Structures are given as C-alpha cells and as structure tokens.
Amino acid sequence: MIKFLTSLFSKDLAIDLGTSNTLVYIEGEEIVIRESSVVAIKNKVDAEEEVVAVGNEAKRMTGKAPWELVIVRPLKDGVIADFEVTEKMLNYFITKVHNRKNLVNPKIVVCIPSGVTEIEKKTVVDTSLKAGAKEAYLIEEPMAAAIGAGLPINKPIGNMIVDIGGGTTEIAVISLGGIVTKKSIKIAGDEMDQAIVDYLRDDYNLMIGNKTAERIKIEIGSAYFGSGSAVTRDNKIEVRGRNLLDGLPKRIEVSALEIQLALENSVNSIIRAIKETLEETPAELSTDIIDRGITMAGGGSLLSGLDQLIANKTGVSVYLADNPLDCIVLGTGKVLQELKKLRKILV
C-alpha cells in the first residue's frame, strides 16, 4: 500500500546518465537537473564512506580537495564503473527532483551506449532500482539522440546520427524504428581533454588538470580551420599549471594550431568510425544519407570545425542538431511520455 501511494505521487523520469554529465527530465515538463556525474566522498576509518557533495558542487572540488576527500567519477566510457557510488548519485538526483522526499518510486528510462554488454545493461537497471525506481527501462543513446534531434526514425528512410559525448562516440544508421548499423567507440570528449593534458606535459613540461584541459578545448579547440570557423589558427590562450622540472607554478601561452595537433588522433578516430559505419550501411540507406546528410549531437560535436572536417572526409553533408547538448535526454523524455507506443525501441 505504501509503495502504491508513493508511486502515485512520483514523477517519472528520463535520465541521460553520462560519463561527464547527468541530465534529468521530468515527464511532460522539462529538464530539471543538469549536473556533472561526479561525487565527493569522505573516507572514514572503520566507518561507511560519507557522500559530501554530488554533481556540480563535487566537480568544483576536483583538484582542490584535501586528502580525506576523494572525488569520484562513477561512470567510465559511458558505463558504470562504481556500482555503489552511482547508486548514491542516482538516489541523490531522484530525491532532489522530488523535493528531498525519500519515499518515491518513479518509472525511469535511462540511456546507455550502444556497445554495452548484457552484464552492463543489467547493472544499470539494478542500480536504478536500488536508487528508488519502481520500473527501469533502457534505450540506446544513438536512438535517443535521433529522436531528440527530430529525425523520422519510424519511416523507411536512412537516418545517420553521430553523438559525441564525454566517454563514448555513438554512431548509428536508423530506419523503421530500429538501428541498422552502429558503432560505439570509447573516444570522445574525455579522450580529447586527456590528449591536451598529454600534449602540454610532453611539449612544455606543464602539468594541468582535466578541468583546465576542458576549458582550453572549449575556448580554442578546433578540428578544422575553415571559412567561417569560430576559431582561427592564431587564437591563443594562457595556461597555468605546475612545472614538472622544478615543481613550481608556471604559465605559458598556447595556440589553437597546437591544440588542433593535440586533438588530431582523437578526431581522426571518430572520422574513421563514421566511415566504417557508412561502409557497412546497405546501399538503399546510403542513398538516403547522401540526400539527408549526417546529424551530429552531443557536447563533442560542438568542437569548432568538426562538422566541416567530417563533411570533407566523407563527402556527405553534416548538420548540427538544434539542441546538441540535450538531444539524448529530450529523446528519452519523448519515449517516457509515449512508453506504450515506443516500447519496441527500448533495449
């Protein structure tokens, strides 16, 4: 009876459980949570670990926390790496949506990368249920992104979506409500950030954190210096970090051209995966893709010039979704609203 009453007043949720960020959408309303997938935990001797902060508050502590605080990113490459911490993070977001009420049992639809194993799928479902969900459903990220981007997934038309998130890049060709060909690679935004960290360490003996690397990527990162690009090869940025030779603080200036070189391997890997997916696509659907182009979504798709470079390398027009950062959660939200009608596309 208690479970029935609590579920009666629960708000059903769509969750984009990403490596870098978690977005939560309330059925029929809006995105209510947009926070980092980070948890700050205080280690206690002979006692259970205490969650000190979750989300954006925990991310602000990254690289600045005292030794007794451990900053954890419980998802790696789009899948759960730490079951217990993910459960605590999800529980925090669910109760936050329901105004700190613990006795809630919402239905939840969660996005997962298309390349996860059956065990990893079960882990996501089990974690969602333990975090307080009454029912938990899964949808593959490229399908959710395509729905969120407004592509006609149920028609006999080839739709190609490339979603570049934090941990994975998801590429799929969709037709008649199903994924025809797909590829999931563990190269995306986080890998780009690490490439910048490695470049500055190797070329300048400068150690920076991933937060700084992400800022550099956003401000002067580029895949291609084409006409109309937001970033030019002459753009520069001041970077501060620790000198690896003497351990002292150090500041340098780096150019957009250097950062492009640092990102080159990651960008080429994504383009290679897109080409391989196109090669595996049936001929009739390939014709549709030539006519309709490739749709890009996810935070990584915002890298300056990336759409132009992909178009040049594939010979296919590339379009950025209207709301690339929110495509997945908005698509998941639509599935949540039409659960019976769209149940066949769930995993």
Q: Does the pLDDT of residue 7 top 50, yes or no? A: no
- Residues 246-256, mean pLDDT to the nearest whole number: 95
Domain shared by 80 and 127, yes or no: yes
Domain end, chosen from 263, 296, 312, is at 263
As beta bridge partners, residue 237 has 254
Instruction: Check residue 49 and give its pLDDT.
Output: 74
Q: Are 305 and 225 in contact (CB under 8 A)?
A: yes
Instruction: Check residue 345 and give its pLDDT.
Output: 76
Q: Does the pLDDT of residue 236 top 60, yes or no? A: yes
Instruction: Check residue 109 and give its pLDDT.
Output: 92
Domain shared by 284 and 308, yes or no: yes
User: What's the one-letter identity of residue 347?
Assistant: V
Domain shared by 97 and 197, yes or no: no
H or E stretch including 159? strand 159-164
- Residues 258-275, mean pLDDT to the nearest whole number: 97
Instruction: Check residue 116 and give its pLDDT.
Output: 81
**Considering its fold, how many domains does the chain have in total?**
4
Looking at residue 44, the DSSP 8-state letter turns out to be -
Domain shared by 63 and 210, yes or no: no
Token pair 């001797």 is found at: 45
Closest among 112, 72, 77 to 92, alpha carbons compared = 72
Domain shared by 274 and 290, yes or no: yes
Q: How confident is the model at residue 305 (pLDDT cuts 50, 70, 90)?
A: very high
H or E stretch including 131? none
**Rounded Cα–Cα distance for residues 304 and 324 (Å):** 14
Instruction: Check residue 48 and give its pLDDT.
Output: 67
Task: Give residue 266's Cα distance to chain centre.
Answer: 16
- Identify the residue with better confidence: 102 or 138: 138
Instruction: Check residue 67 and give its pLDDT.
Output: 79
Provide the CATH number for the domain around residue 218.
3.90.640.10
**Rounded Cα–Cα distance for residues 15 and 328 (Å):** 9
Domain shared by 126 and 156, yes or no: no
Q: Does the pLDDT of residue 47 top 70, yes or no? A: no
Domain shared by 289 and 164, yes or no: yes
- Identify the residue with better confidence: 121 or 202: 202
Strands 236-243 and 206-207: antiparallel
- Residues 194-217, mean pLDDT to the nearest whole number: 96
- Identify the residue with better confidence: 193 or 337: 193
Domain shared by 200 and 256, yes or no: yes
Q: Does the pLDDT of residue 222 top 60, yes or no? A: yes
Q: Does the pLDDT of residue 21 top 70, yes or no? A: yes
Instruction: Check residue 252 and give its pLDDT.
Output: 96
Domain shared by 112 and 216, yes or no: no
Q: Does the pLDDT of residue 168 top 70, yes or no? A: yes
Q: Give me the domain span that covers residue 11.
A: 2-35+76-143+328-345
Residue 3 has φ and ψ, to the nearest 5°, of -65, -35
pTM of the model: 0.88
Domain shared by 213 and 89, yes or no: no
Domain shared by 23 and 99, yes or no: yes
H or E stretch including 225? none
Provide the CATH number for the domain around residue 332.
3.30.420.40
Strands 31-36 and 135-140: unpaired
Domain end, chosen from 263, 283, 302, is at 263
**Sign of the Cα pseudo-torsion (279, 281, 284, 287, in order):** negative
Instruction: Check residue 102 and give its pLDDT.
Output: 56
Domain shared by 122 and 213, yes or no: no
